Structure 1
Amino acid sequence: MERLQKYLARAGVASRRSCEELIARGMVKVNGEIVTEMGVKIDPDNDKIQVRGKLITKPEKKVYLMLNKPKGYVTTLKDPQGRPKVTDLLTGIEQRVYPVGRLDFDTEGLLLLTNDGDVTYGLTHPKHELGKTYVVTVKGVPDRDKLNRFAKGLRLADGITAPAKVRLVRKKGNNGVLEITIYEGRNRQIRRMCETVGHPVLELKRVSMGFLRLDGLEEGKFRHLTKEEISKLIKSVK
């Protein structure tokens, strides 16, 4: 027996959190009956599970990908404006995978995609939030006092940020190049933090998530995680 939302996530329907939302909205049936309560257990071998009327088959092979996202792509699976999606870059991947978190349309760099709902849920849960490091070109050059404000936490519209690590890597003309590591995943967080100290972002690239680094992966290209990386990733969210 297995919890319904976990089974749906394992089957690649969506992240576990999104599967819980589908259940709550009455979009899931078990043996023809709508289920809206969390924690219902099912027998994957004998029960008939449907989402929006579509029969869910046994879980497919797990896939874990690292993509070097270019600018000009959205990390959603659908876009009302018809803009390019990161999944458009995944040639040869048969499984339906989902981005782990998001990168803005104008942000580039490391993006994980997987059909493992448990891993996605774990990586995006505050309890397991991995450090994410960005190389950021900002307008002007922040002084030491402004850099120290990142480490103390910055007040944004949605509250004070957790302490971040920041260092000035180099000057680029009249602008500065920073390396910033954050441990939470607020919407457009890096951009808002930099605006708060008076140095708007000009360029933004994520170069690592936890122990995973781009390490020469070409822009617009992807690769499968190694067995060792997958094992370490799964252990990090348990």
Structure 2
Amino acid sequence: MNEERLQKVIARSGVASRRKAEQLILDGKVVVNGKKVTELGTKVTSKDEISVEGIPIEKEKLVYYVLYKPRGVISSVKDESNRKIVLDYLPEIEERIYPVGRLDYDTSGLLLLTNDGDFTNQLLHPSRRINKEYVVKTKGIPDKRGLELFKKGIRSEGETLKAVYVKIKSVDRKKNTAIVKLTLHQGKNRQVRRMFDAIHTPVMKLKREKFGFLTLEGLQPGEYRELTPQEVADLLNLAK
């Protein structure tokens, strides 16, 4: 069972901000399972009973979804330019969910959303080696030696970008395009596009088809489904 810091759980319930929640704990105004708690390092689970100043907090149910994100959509919970955001596709979800990582505006494919911060941190931690599989349509046909560099690492904007697998699936010499499949462990900003730009075959279309063992099977662009408890558990085991 996932544990979270007490002040984070209080803040998520809407009772107080994270900082205010910390002060309430220090002031002895928070009770967990009938015992006063004054240590900020205290962690709780969904089974713990928590009250603040004598009032039980409402626990938000932890939820997990997979969305087939269309192109032209922001992986965010809000956008100042009023562009379409991923939450527009889950309007009936009452919990305050957010994306696990992101897909670029022009990238489609598999995106996870949740309100579980520990789950998110586990999946996105740099030490986790979870496969993320992409299909790329390129303008120009990549050189095989160039693609081999992906496995060794390509320097871009001060970062080393690497793929763990890359293979050309098909080419169209008349249109001068190619379809390439690659797998990443990293999740750097615009990573796939930067890697292909480095070998002078820019990306025309980009789609994430898999995250770990999860696929888009049964989903059309803009559709979503809830993860099963077993899938959530398997993802957390994968992150370990």
TM-score scaled by structure 2? 0.81
Answer yes or no: is the 8 Å Cα contact 1:119–1:237 preserved in 2. no
Pair 39,231 (structure 1): closer, same or farther in 2 beyond 3 Å: same
Answer yes or no: is the 8 Å Cα contact 2:137–2:205 preserved in 1. yes
- Give the Cα separation in 1 of the matches to 2:182 and 2:43: 44
Q: Which residue identity does 1:136 align to in structure 2?
A: V
Pair 8,125 (structure 1): closer, same or farther in 2 beyond 3 Å: farther
- Report what 1:122 is aligned to: 122
- Report what 1:165 is aligned to: 165
- Report what 1:146 is aligned to: 146
Structure 1 position 98, deviation (Å):
0.9
Q: Which residue identity does 1:63 align to in structure 2?
A: V
- Give the Cα separation in 2 of the matches to 1:140 and 1:12: 51
Cα RMSD over matched residues? 2.8
Pair 12,203 (structure 1): closer, same or farther in 2 beyond 3 Å: farther
Answer yes or no: is the 8 Å Cα contact 1:12–1:115 preserved in 2. no
Structure 1 position 217, deviation (Å):
1.1
1:12-161 aligned within 5 A:
23=18, 26=19, 28-31=21-24, 39-41=40-42, 45-47=50-52, 57-161=57-161
- Give the Cα separation in 2 of the matches to 1:109 and 1:161: 21
- Give the Cα separation in 2 of the matches to 1:111 and 1:117: 16
Pick the structure with greater CA Rg: 2
Answer yes or no: is the 8 Å Cα contact 2:7–2:22 preserved in 1. no
| Match among 226, 230, 236 for residue 234 of structure 1 | 236
Structure 1 position 159, deviation (Å):
1.8
Answer yes or no: is the 8 Å Cα contact 1:6–1:117 preserved in 2. no
Structure 1 position 127, deviation (Å):
1.7
- Report what 1:19 is aligned to: none
- Give the Cα separation in 1 of the matches to 2:151 and 2:189: 19
- Report what 1:225 is aligned to: 227
Using the aligned pairs only, state the percent identity: 40
The question of 1:185 aligning with 2:178 is answered no
Structure 1 position 184, deviation (Å):
0.7
Pair 79,2 (structure 1): closer, same or farther in 2 beyond 3 Å: closer
Pair 27,150 (structure 1): closer, same or farther in 2 beyond 3 Å: farther
Give the 3-state SS of the residue equivalent to 2:232 in structure 1: helix
Give the 3-state SS of the residue equivalent to 2:169 in structure 1: strand
Give the 3-state SS of the residue equivalent to 1:109 in structure 2: strand
Structure 1 position 31, deviation (Å):
2.2
| 1:11-55, Cα deviation, whole Å (9 max, x unpaired) | 478xxxxxxxx85xx465542879xxx95437862335xxxxxx9
- Report what 2:36 is aligned to: none
Mind listing any 5+ residue stretches in structure 1 that lack a counterpart? 14-21, 49-54
Q: Which residue identity does 1:200 align to in structure 2?
A: P
TM-score scaled by structure 1? 0.81
Structure 1 position 187, deviation (Å):
0.4
| 1:198-218, Cα deviation, whole Å (9 max, x unpaired) | 111100000001111112311
Mind listing any 5+ residue stretches in structure 2 that lack a counterpart? 28-38
- Give the Cα separation in 1 of the matches to 2:151 and 2:167: 10
- Give the Cα separation in 2 of the matches to 1:170 and 1:5: 52
Pair 65,155 (structure 1): closer, same or farther in 2 beyond 3 Å: same
- Report what 1:216 is aligned to: 218
Q: Which residue identity does 1:179 align to in structure 2?
A: K
